Amino acid sequence: MKTDELREKYLEFFETKGCVRRPSDVLVPRGDPTVLFTPAGMNQFKDQFLGVGKLDFTRATTCQKCLRTGDIENVGNTAYHHTFFEMLGNFSFGDYFKNDAIHWAWEFLTDKKWLGLDPQRLTVTVFQEDEEAYGIWHDKIGLSADRITRDNEHENFWPAGAPSEGPDGVCGPCSEIFYHPPGSSGNVEIWNLVFTQFNRVGDPPDNLRPLPKKNIDTGMGLERTAAVLQGHESNFEIDTLRPLCEASAAAVGVKYAYDSPHGRAVRRIADHVRAVTFAISEGVLPDRDRERYVIRQLLRRAVMEGFLIGQHDPFLHTLVPNVAEAMQVPYPELGKETEKIAEAIRDEEEQFLGTVEKGLHKLDNYIEKARGDGKSVLSGDDVFDLHQTDGFLIELTEAVAAKHNLSVDRQRFNARMQRHLQDSGRGAFADKVMAAGPLDAIRETQAGTDFVGYDETASTGKVV
């Protein structure tokens, strides 16, 4: 089943259950101080979950554009993580609850009319205290006990970490569904059913306030489920992403193969250019602060991956039409904006490559200095300076140093980075978003005494 068909089938299925099909919300929400990017389908319905929103329906289904910077290190490494991805979801605002949500998920996955997955290949998890969910899976769906895992709040409460340490907002126990591909010892989490029952405010013990009405919020990974249906072990092999990987490889002068030495770098390029293209199409251009800084970093990382493979000219912008083509069914408007988006990417690429050249010159001096002193390790302070003032990514420094048989004092670099991340300025916040993901960054920043908010004028701190 093609990815576009899966998206349509999901939305259609939930329409038969009375859900109103709604368009994806934006990727970069304005006016929501708790997130820089939309991390899940539920974000556009926060008010409905809190019982304060005004919509004339109580059941919805969407396919949401999401971006999770916290997954950036996974991208290309794991088979199933992207920064930008699409999340299918079905929602209830005080309407249907656990029993229906679980039954419908099972029906959609296993009924031959819909996905027709082999039920024997599916297992689930539930929150350890959620007897109700366990009972539905076990007694009504008929899953044997060995296929239901009870887990703690880190795995089965959403957002993770509740009740003691999670971020404020709507939350609840969840039940995740995993698929076990034939011939593989691993599994892949495809769907998370969240039973949104609480509003978390402040510190424990009394911070979980029951919501006026119980809700459902589910998220199914479109690319992951497509990979399952298409029999691939990685999302990057599906019909929409494999061609983008091939185009990315060609743009940096190599041929793509999943396990080739450049495979990971190419997947990162493909992932990041998709994220950057969507952000820019919403008018979020790479720049110095907040979400614009994240987009700049994603763009630079992609360019850096190409640079390390040997592509020293701007190339990323040439991939915009490929992104538009891969995404043309759900987002036909992208096709009309490719030139504008490519131009913005090209400008940034040129600027970054200029920086790289300047940084390389500085780095040459550091390398000579280290050699002159008979050292095999570059100073963590110098490398940190290169990172902060020249926007020189640490991976690039390490790759260049390695060519001269030198390493980098990572311990010192990391210590400087840690100290920098504890600063309260805007630059530190943005770096933290890249290091830990927005939820953690917000939580940590809020925990600090220097938190001053996220409006445009509140904090300062220059980032490159």
User: Side chain identity at 379, as an amino acid letter?
Assistant: S
Binding mask 190-219 for ligand ATP (x = CB under 6 A): xxx--------------------------x
Do residues 250 and 261 touch, judged by C-beta distance below 8 A? no
* Residue 376 CA neighbour count, 13 Å, CB half: 2
Asked, as a colleague might, if the bond just before 182 is cis with ω within 30 of 0, I would say: no
**Segment interacting with ligand ATP, rule: CB under 6 A, options 5-13, 76-84, 336-344, 376-384:** 76-84
| Token code pair at residue 440 | 């953690």
Nearer to Mg ion, 80 or 256 (CB): 80
User: What CA–CA distances, in Å, run from 159 to 129, 154, 414?
Assistant: 16, 9, 28
**Segment interacting with ligand ATP, rule: CB under 6 A, options 50-58, 81-89, 285-293, 438-446:** 81-89
**Segment interacting with ligand ATP, rule: CB under 6 A, options 82-90, 99-107, 273-281, 393-401:** 82-90
Longest CA pairwise span in the chain (Å) = 73
Nearer to Mg ion, 66 or 370 (CB): 66
Among 192, 215, 277, 459, binds Mg ion (CB under 5 A): 192
Among 7, 65, 81, 268, binds ligand ATP (CB under 6 A): 81
Cα 239 to its chain centre, rounded Å, is 20
Q: Is 151 in the site for ligand ATP (CB under 6 A)?
A: no
Give how many residues touch Mg ion by CB under 5 A.
Answer: 3
Q: Nearest approach, Cβ of 122 to ligand ATP (angstroms)?
A: 13
C-beta pairs of 253-259 under 8 Å, 24+ apart in sequence: 253/309, 253/310, 253/311, 254/309, 258/234
Residue 321 CB burial class (10 angstroms; 0-12, 13-18, ≥19): middle
Contacting Mg ion within 378-397 (CB under 5 A): none
Contacting ligand ATP within 214-273 (CB under 6 A): 219-221, 223-224
Q: Is 85 in the site for ligand ATP (CB under 6 A)?
A: yes
What 3-state DSSP class applies to 106? helix
CA–CA distance, 281 with 459 (Å, rounded to integer): 27
**Segment interacting with ligand ATP, rule: CB under 6 A, options 1-9, 163-171, 187-195, 453-461:** 187-195
Nearer to ligand ATP, 37 or 392 (CB): 37
190 binds, among ligand ATP, Mg ion, none (CB under 5 to 8 A by kind): ligand ATP
70 binds, among ligand ATP, Mg ion, none (CB under 5 to 8 A by kind): none
Binding mask 162-191 for Mg ion (x = CB under 5 A): --------------x------------x--
CA–CA distance, 49 with 215 (Å, rounded to integer): 6
**Segment interacting with ligand ATP, rule: CB under 6 A, options 77-85, 136-144, 291-299, 430-438:** 77-85
Among 7, 46, 59, 68, binds ligand ATP (CB under 6 A): 68
Q: Nearest approach, Cβ of 365 to ligand ATP (angstroms)?
A: 39
Binding mask 88-127 for ligand ATP (x = CB under 6 A): ----------------------------------------
Q: Nearest approach, Cβ of 223 to ligand ATP (angstroms)?
A: 6
Give how many residues touch ligand ATP by CB under 6 A.
Answer: 16
DSSP string, 219-272: EEEHHHHHHHHHT-SSGGGSTTTHHHHHHHHHHTT----TTSTTHHHHHHHHHH
CA–CA distance, 423 with 20 (Å, rounded to integer): 45
CA–CA distance, 207 with 166 (Å, rounded to integer): 10
Count of all residues that appear for the chain in the document: 464
Nearer to ligand ATP, 37 or 191 (CB): 191
Q: Check residue 191 and report its DSSP letter.
A: E
User: What CA–CA distances, in Å, run from 199 to 41, 51, 69, 210, 214?
Assistant: 18, 11, 25, 6, 11
Nearer to ligand ATP, 66 or 334 (CB): 66
CA–CA distance, 244 with 153 (Å, rounded to integer): 37
Nearer to ligand ATP, 108 or 413 (CB): 108
Contacting Mg ion within 417-436 (CB under 5 A): none
CA–CA distance, 63 with 58 (Å, rounded to integer): 17
87 binds, among ligand ATP, Mg ion, none (CB under 5 to 8 A by kind): ligand ATP
Q: Is 189 in the site for ligand ATP (CB under 6 A)?
A: yes
Q: Which residues bind ligand ATP (CB under 6 A)?
A: 68, 71, 80-82, 85, 87, 189-192, 219-221, 223-224
* Residues binding Mg ion (CB under 5 A): 176, 189, 192
